[in-house]
Structure 1
Amino acid sequence: MSGSGTFAFTVHPRARLGEDLARLWKPLRHLPEAFYDTALRRLPLPPVTMAAVRIGGESVGHVVLVPFGARHLLADIEGGRRRVGLAVDRAVALGADVVGLGALTATVTAGGATLRERTDIGVTNGNAFTAAIVEDQIRMLLPRVAERAGRPHIAVVGASGSVGTAVTKLLARDPAGTRLTLIARTAPRVNALAASVAADVEVSVAHTIDAVVDADLVVLLTASADALLGAEHVAPGAVVIDATQPRNTSPRLAVDRPDVLVVDGGIVSIPSLRIMGGDIGLPDGRSYACFAETAILALTGHTGHFAVGNPTLDQVDEIRERAYALRHLGFHAAEPSSFGRPVSLEPRTAVIA
């Protein structure tokens, strides 16, 4: 990795504030949630350099915590943007060449678009590699789906978003006998997306999550609280890829519908990855694809912004090429898991270990 750069990656507390903040200091786990909610909303807390990142035995980056929870970021977009901006300042101070926007830090900055004018650091939302890895997972699961469905019906929830748009275009580029239902609340955008791929793949449009009821494979790409996938939504024997953070499926789905397989989406294998002094919610050796994209860009010497707003298919192809150059370190779709537990796939069955 000689000559490569370094990176920073921004994260934030998710649904359980105490649980996430306890990764910084274990006693924080014992305070009531209401305390964290009030403190994060009202206090001008600075960003925290919560962990160092090592890959291939070398120090290559940092994880920077934005002290604003998922609910806070969605409820106060401007406040969230200010806090993300401070976290990017921290990344610059750490000497990072590129900063990746994790989870809702990408959402509140319009996929990094509000940071486009910054020239002191490259910015990426990680969505190009996320789209690539989700496509890889879809194609990995298609044989299992086709075994029961013949001609697989794929529903993409959040299709008009940054990752959803790219995944839709990737599937249309090589439809492999599938048909698509694109689901999004923003009718003009999803209608325009459907029209742009209609010559390549059979496609329909819907605006509520109820439309997944006939789908063989459901791809969740939106963190909207209005799109929480429940047991009543999915077809018998369906497969769900949940690539959302915070995730839009409940562990209860696996209990209430044992016939449905929920696969953790956008997970990348980097065997030598170690997060020193904290974690990103995954075990050593695994990362989210948005994190992996940031690392790939730094380790291959990229400068300037990369995926800001909606990634193009050219950017998806480029990040795949860069990942291939780092294949000795991994940077490919991880073996499938469901709520963090390994899954052994067979055409007719899937066994959760």
Structure 2
Amino acid sequence: MPGSPLPSAAALPAAAGTFAFLVHPRRELSTDLARVWRPLGLAPDGLYSFGLRRLPLPPVTMAAVEIGGRAVGHVVLVPFGARHLLEHPGQGRQRVSRAVDRAVDLGASVVGLGALTATVTAGGVSLRDRTDIGVTNGNAFTAATVDTQARDLLGTRVDPSRDRHVAVVGATGSVGGAVAALLARDRAVDRLTLVGRSLPKLGALAARLGDRVHTTMSNDLASVAQADLVVLLTASADAVLGPEHLAPGAVVLDATQPRNTDPSLLTARPDVTVVDGGVLDIPSLRLVGGDIGLPDGRAYACFAETALLALSGHRGHFAMGVPTLEQVDHTRALAASLSHLGFRPAVHTSFGRPLPAVGRREQVPA
């Protein structure tokens, strides 16, 4: 609460280790590179796109991480853009591997794979032979956070007289599959629409969940047009969800990085609410020397998972590929054990701006 003292370093566990978290430039290269050094924001994106693709640039230690007043880790920049990682995955894996080497040099016990560094390494699977550092893709706590946010939105911003119809876009991905399973586990929704590229994978997921909740599947984004809540968890360098895809009054939870919605969606569809997904409050968190697009005290859930593991003294790999529900529950338990530091979903925002508060409706899902 405002005015409350921040936790001190003494509040950190005695067995706490340190971590590194990998990031990369997203859609607007110059904007993200300016977070490393402000003058870099002056050059055009085209120049950076050419340079990042062609030059053998080393990883950059762009910020130190402090929690509770103690230095606990670093943010390491992989010098490869979002589109580069998706279009040149082999080269992207090499650059991610070099960034993991940098994490080892920094003394980190755990390294977290931010944004598309997880995608290009198959959720960290390509790094599983490393024995010099623990690796996590951050997707277990991301799934936990998105699940919590989705349930809150169903209880506060969705008409309780309607069936709770949720569409998960990117359902065959590492986070999407886990979120769908969490929502089905205790029937938090009445209908699930699973959207992804691979129909065989969608069919396998739907078969596992269909005995718990009415489930349909599609590889066409138009299939979300009847959903009350659309959870966006795709791996793309661009906005993929347009105004034509959404039902009247729909709520969109965009938990992607790079994000897959654009502010123009709100202009075209003022009836739609877009919520920033996967963002946590860690009040004593500070990044020294750079930032990752969030204010002090806030972090993406994949970053928070890496911090939770390091602060709890975890050793070895954690989430690789699709996280298990046991791993999701474990991260929730870790967050509860460090609740004095925060590690809880942030107040809802839309493109970084606070959303007006709404009263909780009746018929809140369990």
Equivalent residue in structure 2 for 1:341, among 346, 353, 363: 353
Are 2:117 and 1:105 aligned?
yes
**Which residue number in structure 1 is paired with residue 214 of structure 2?**
202
Q: Within 5 Å, which residues of 2 pair with 1:1-353? A: 1=12, 2-147=14-159, 149-224=161-236, 228-347=240-359
Aligned-partner SS, 2:103: helix
Distance, in Å, in 1 between the alignment partners of 2:238 and 2:288 is 36
Aligned-partner SS, 1:259: coil
Q: Do the aligned partners of 1:145 and 1:152 also contact (CA within 8 Å) in 2?
A: no
Q: Do the aligned partners of 2:166 and 2:189 also contact (CA within 8 Å) in 1?
A: no
Distance, in Å, in 2 between the alignment partners of 1:11 and 1:244 is 13
Distance, in Å, in 2 between the alignment partners of 1:303 and 1:152 is 40
Aligned-partner SS, 2:275: strand
Deviation at 1:148, TM superposition (A): 5.4
Deviation at 1:145, TM superposition (A): 4.4
**Which residue number in structure 1 is paired with residue 364 of structure 2?**
none
Q: Do the aligned partners of 2:281 and 2:297 also contact (CA within 8 Å) in 1?
A: yes
Amino acid at match of 2:81: G
Amino acid at match of 2:210: A
Q: Which blocks of at least 5 consecutive residues in structure 2 are unaligned?
A: 1-11, 362-366
Q: Do the aligned partners of 2:252 and 2:272 also contact (CA within 8 Å) in 1?
A: yes
Q: Do the aligned partners of 1:149 and 1:216 also contact (CA within 8 Å) in 2?
A: no
Distance, in Å, in 2 between the alignment partners of 1:63 and 1:162 is 23
Deviation at 1:225, TM superposition (A): 5.5
Aligned-partner SS, 1:279: coil
Aligned-partner SS, 1:154: strand
Q: For 1:216-238, what per-residue CA distance to the aligned partner results, in whole angstroms no more than 9, with x for missing partners?
A: 00000002358700111111100
Q: For 1:169-217, what per-residue CA distance to the aligned partner results, in whole angstroms no more than 9, with x for missing partners?
A: 1011111352100001101111100000111111001111111111100
Deviation at 1:33, TM superposition (A): 1.5
Distance, in Å, in 1 between the alignment partners of 2:359 and 2:351 is 20
Q: For 1:52-105, what per-residue CA distance to the aligned partner results, in whole angstroms no more than 9, with x for missing partners?
A: 000011100000000000011111000000000000000000000000000000
> Relative to 1, partners in 2 of residues 1:254 and 1:226: Cα closer, same or farther, differing over 3 Å?
closer
Q: Do the aligned partners of 1:143 and 1:347 also contact (CA within 8 Å) in 2?
A: no
Aligned-partner SS, 2:61: strand
> Relative to 1, partners in 2 of residues 1:39 and 1:205: Cα closer, same or farther, differing over 3 Å?
same
Distance, in Å, in 1 between the alignment partners of 2:344 and 2:228 is 25
Q: Do the aligned partners of 2:23 and 2:75 also contact (CA within 8 Å) in 1?
A: yes
Distance, in Å, in 2 between the alignment partners of 1:183 and 1:147 is 23
Structure 1 vs Structure 2 CA RMSD: 1.4
> Relative to 1, partners in 2 of residues 1:87 and 1:225: Cα closer, same or farther, differing over 3 Å?
closer
**Which residue number in structure 1 is paired with residue 5 of structure 2?**
none
Question: Greater CA deviation, 227-236 or 158-167?
Answer: 227-236
Distance, in Å, in 1 between the alignment partners of 2:239 and 2:225 is 13
Deviation at 1:300, TM superposition (A): 0.4
Deviation at 1:150, TM superposition (A): 2.0
Q: Give the paired residue count.
A: 349
Distance, in Å, in 2 between the alignment partners of 1:335 and 1:177 is 22
Aligned-partner SS, 1:163: helix
Task: Please report the TM-score for the alignment, with normalisation by the length of structure 2.
Answer: 0.93
Distance, in Å, in 2 between the alignment partners of 1:252 and 1:325 is 40
Aligned-partner SS, 1:52: strand
> Relative to 1, partners in 2 of residues 1:165 and 1:222: Cα closer, same or farther, differing over 3 Å?
same
Question: Greater CA deviation, 297-306 or 220-229?
Answer: 220-229
